[in-house]
Each structure stands twice: as structure tokens, then as C-alpha cells.
Amino acid sequence: MTTIIYEYEIPDPARPIPEDERGLLGPTGHLIPFIPSPIFSGHVAGRIIGEICSHVGTYGMGGPGFFGLRLDSEWLVIAIWGAAEWMTAQGRCLGDTFHQKYGRTSPWLAGDGELDKHVAGQRIRSIEVQRHSLCIVLDNAFDLTIEESSSHRPLLEGVKKPRTFAEHDDLRRAVFLAPTAEIWV
């Protein structure tokens, strides 16, 4: 089970914090509230992916592992804790920390930029975000998907339970555009 409703803050670009004052783990600017708007296909369809990041977001001592696609100066964010372990591409997990332990196929993100070769530079053909599912299709027919069923996801290692959505979860509130990948939770 997961909860995908968070309160977000982002650095205010008008009020940066000098590097010598923020320390190693501090924000790059004074934090301001960020309330993302729901995303619609027209917001991202036709846009080119410049970069992928499987560690979007921070809480100061680490990160929630949101997944992001940079689209020019914005980020398309999938704000699920450890999002890569919820996602597949072409039916193969993006992330699976314990794949070797269980003899599972190596995830996309275990390779040396293997996912980048299929995603970076590609145009988003379509995106469909439902309550408990997501499908992004690129012009090269490559897909980034979160299925409603947990059968394609690795179990939560500590408790050996499926990564499932809670009844109140709604991906339509967890997939959004952000002006930065530095999103504080």
C-alpha cells in the first residue's frame, strides 16, 4: 500500500541560498509551497524528453525516488515513493533493487544508460493517467507504464507484500509538471 498525496515545496528562484550557507543537504533557495495542477495529455503530448531521473525529490537527508522526465525547462514528475519500482517499460521493471536475489530479469535502470537510449530525445506520443494506472507512449513506440495490478512489481522487500495502491490513492494527483526536480516533501 502507498500514499501518494504529499505537501510539496520548491526553491524560490528569486531567493537563492548561497552554497556556503545551505550546507551539503540544504535547499538551493528559500522554499515556497508548490501545489501541482492536474496534468492533461495536451500538456505533454508532442514534447521531447531531454533527460530522465529516477531520484526526483528530497526531504533533506535522502529522497523519495520520484521519477521524472525533463521536458525543456519543466519536469514531468511521477510522485510515488520509489516510483521506478512501480513502473515498467516494454514489460520490464524500471527498478528492482533485489532482482539478483530472486533471479529476476535485470531492471532497465541497472544498465549503463540503457533506458536513456530508448527515452532521451524521444517525443511523447501520448499519456494516459487514470486513478491507479499510467501509460506514456513515445514516438518510437516505447512505453513507460504503471499497471493497476501489482503482479508486475517487485514486492516490498521488508514486509514481502505487494506494492499496491490504497483506495484513496489517485495517480491523477501524483503525475504533474514541475519547474524543477528539486521538490521537497
Residue 2: the pLDDT is 59
Residue 3: the pLDDT is 58
Phi, psi angles (nearest 5°) of residue 74: -120, 160
Residue 113: the pLDDT is 85
| In the block, residue with C-alpha cell 508486475 | 152
Cα torsion 22, 23, 27, 30 to 10°: value is -10
* Digitized pLDDT (tens) for each residue of the chain, 185 residues in all: 455 678 999 999 999 999 899 888 899 999 999 999 989 899 999 999 999 999 999 988 789 999 999 999 999 999 999 999 999 999 999 999 999 999 999 999 987 789 999 999 999 999 999 999 999 999 999 999 999 999 989 999 999 999 999 999 999 999 999 999 999 99
Question: What's the CA gap between 107 and 180, in Å, rounded?
Answer: 26
Angstrom distances, CA of residue 79 to CA of 15, 103, 104: 25, 28, 25
CB under 8 Å to 99, separation ≥6 — which residues?
Answer: 93, 105, 106, 107, 110, 154
Question: What's the CA gap between 26 and 18, in Å, rounded?
Answer: 10
Residue 5: the pLDDT is 73
